[in-house]
Amino acid sequence: MTDIKAHTRDELLARFQTWEQPTYRVAQLLQWLYTRRVTSWDAMSNLPQALRESLAKEFTLGTLALVRQQGTPDTTRKFLWHLSDGALIESVLIPANPALYGEASDRHTLCVSTQVGCAYGCKFCASGLDGWKRHLTPDEIVEQVLAVERWHGEAESEKRKAESGKPAASPSAPSFPGDTRLVNNLVLMGMGEPLANYDPVLKALRILNAPWGGGIGARKITLSTSGLAPQIRRLAEEPEQFRLAVSLHGATDAIRDQFMPVNRKHPLRELTAACEHYLQRKGRMITLEYILIADLNDGLDQIGPLSQLALRLHAKVNLIPYNTVAGLPWQRPTEEAQERFLAALEKMKVTATLRREKGGDIAAACGQLRLKTERELAGDK
């Protein structure tokens, strides 16, 4: 059985037609799923019992179980979820930060995972440490957004309850109006390589983008890739205007080869050509992500090739100080070294930003909470 949230409106319309159900029933179902975000068929009170039974026979209605949550109000919050087969994935909720991934966001950015583990094995990354386990299904990607919004609704209702000293009117009622969406920016920068799970990821994005679904504008959705050149070309042919971020982290093959095995398969020449193609087809600015890792890629020798590449691609460069990962030797450069790198890029007329955050912030490094939890569960603290 597949999950109901892996299906588009058109697919559901076709199914409802075979059941001789009127079209408006699909609209009702979609409202329950994406506006009220209910977690059981029984909650869909305006659907006839017989229809609910047919749905339950044909589809699952899965939710993500929260295992752990880190963070404090108004800062980054990290969620660790259990999938139905016991696998663990992460999502990270980040309060609005207009400078980071394109257009201004007045609410929140959610960073979602697209795979369990990652096969690409970049040497600095926690997600790739234990290899790749499986792809996420479209509904598992969609549900990360819904589960966070559900969690937020519950937290808000608890807060109101505490403030007024009265219990909420009905515990099963959605605790905030459905048109108040929490997540209005989505980045595929959690665990996994989104373009290696192409079709399910695209389907999830279409559901999250649709007005009947997640309602997140395509321009507010950013796919991040470590450099899968053929899939970048494929993405260029899709009708949606999704944003693209390329995890560059090094501007020469000599550097990238050292810690990004994907570069051996798709070296910079091929990657750059694919990005140029994307730019031509889409007319959209690409973002180049560049993690700064001390003594690995923070040398000023990278400035020449990096600025050449950025200027050629009309790309913006996001500099991200490395978050240390337990068990890996890499360190973030000193603040002076970070600023020096930024200033050198700016001198070359490159548009660049440096993420300035305090201490070992939890924002950037997805995969770490899962790794920590799995190690603790295995008794290896």
Cβ atoms of 119 and 132 closer than 8 Å: yes
| Known catalytic residue at 90 | yes
Binding flags for ligand SF4, 220-259, as an x/- string (CB under 6 A): ------x--------------------x------------
User: Pick from 224, 297, 302, 338: which binds ligand SAH (CB under 6 A)?
Assistant: 224
CB of 225 to ligand SAH, least distance (A): 5
Q: How many residues bind ligand SAH (CB under 6 A)?
A: 16
Q: Which window, 25-33, 50-58, 68-76, 224-232, contacts ligand SAH (CB under 6 A)?
A: 224-232
Give the Cα separation of 127 and 190 in Å (integer): 8
Give the nearer residue to ligand SF4 in terms of CB position, either 122 or 310. Answer: 122
Nearby residues of 131 by Cβ (< 8 Å), 6 or more positions away: 117, 118, 119, 121
- Structure tokens, 20: 């001789």
Given ligand SF4, ligand SAH, none, residue 362, with its beta carbon under 5 to 8 Å by kind, binds none
Q: Which does residue 320 bind out of ligand SF4, ligand SAH, none, counting CB within 5 to 8 angstroms by kind?
A: ligand SAH
Q: Which of 207, 216, 274, 291 binds ligand SAH (CB under 6 A)?
A: 291
Phi/psi region, residue 349 (left: phi>0; alpha: psi -120 to 50; beta: rest), is left
- Minimal CA–CA distance to 81: which of 146, 32, 161, 6? 146
Of 340, 263, 341, 279, nearest to 311 by C-alpha is 279
The answer to whether residue 189 forms part of the interface with ligand SAH (CB under 6 A) is yes
Measured from the Cβ of residue 115, the count of other Cβ atoms closer than 10 Å reads 26
229, 270 contact by CB (below 8 A): yes
User: For the chain, how many residues are written?
Assistant: 381
Name the token pair of 229: 């050149």
Q: Which of 58, 90, 374, 376 is catalytic?
A: 90
CB 236 within 8 A of CB 223: no
Angle between helices 198-209 and 138-164 (to 10 degrees): 40
Q: What is the enclosing helix (H) or strand (E) of 152?
A: helix 138-164
| Site residues (CB under 6 A) for ligand SF4, limited to 280-299 | none
Does the footprint of ligand SF4 cover residue 118 (CB under 6 A)? Answer: yes
Among 275, 366, 374, 376, the one annotated catalytic: 366
β-pairing, 59-60 vs 2-3, is: parallel
Query: Taking CB under 6 A as the rule, which mask of x and - marks residues 139-178 in contact with ligand SAH?
Result: ----------------------------------------
Based on the shown chain and the rule CB under 6 A, indicate whether residue 193 belongs to the binding site for ligand SAH: yes
Q: Considering the rule CB under 6 A, would residue 325 count as an interface residue with ligand SAH?
A: yes
Residue owning tokens 């994406």: 34
Residues 66 and 63: their CA atoms lie apart, in Å, by 9
Give the closest residue to 91 by CA, choosing from 74, 73, 72, 67: 67
Candidates 226, 263, 297, 338: give the one binding ligand SAH (CB under 6 A).
226
Instruction: For residue 366, indicate whether it is catalytic.
Output: yes
Q: Give min distance, CB of 123 to ligand SF4, in A.
A: 8
Q: Could you say which of ligand SF4, ligand SAH, none residue 128 binds, taking C-beta under 5 to 8 angstroms by partner kind?
A: ligand SF4
Q: Rule CB under 6 A: which of 358-377 touch ligand SAH?
A: 364-365
Q: Which amino acid is at 206?
A: R
Interaction with ligand SF4 in 148-207: which residues (CB under 6 A)?
A: 192-193
Which of the residues are catalytic? 90, 366
Q: Which residues bind ligand SF4 (CB under 6 A)?
A: 118, 120-122, 125, 127-128, 192-193, 226, 247
Q: Which residues bind ligand SAH (CB under 6 A)?
A: 124-125, 189, 193, 224-226, 247, 289, 291, 320, 322-323, 325, 364-365
